[in-house]
Amino acid sequence: MYERPKRKRIPYGMMNFIDVRESNCYYVDKTVFIPMIEDANKYFFYIRPRRFGKSLTVSMLRHYYDVRDKDNFEK
């Protein structure tokens, strides 16, 4: 019997980076912006409309910089 492959979900409302990655959801990798954030002034003003992944991006940065998560980041 044919079994349809599972589709990836859109992580609507998900704000935890680990949950998104482990739930096989679509994710737009924003790590390319880390050097720009690091080179920014003392304060970085991150303004985006509602539901544009602000909290998810901050969660990704938290896991990226947290030394306790260094072994898991390459997943």
Number of domains in the chain: 1
pTM for the complete prediction?
0.72
Its sign, for the CA torsion 11, 14, 19, 21, is positive
pLDDT value, residue 7: 85
In a domain, 27, yes or no: yes
* Spans of the chain below 50 pLDDT: none
Per the structure, the complete domain to which residue 29 belongs is given by 17-69
In a domain, 6, yes or no: no
pLDDT value, residue 42: 81
pLDDT value, residue 40: 85
In a domain, 74, yes or no: no
Query: Cβ contacts of residue 2 below 8 Å, gap of 6+?
Result: none
In a domain, 23, yes or no: yes
In a domain, 3, yes or no: no
In a domain, 7, yes or no: no
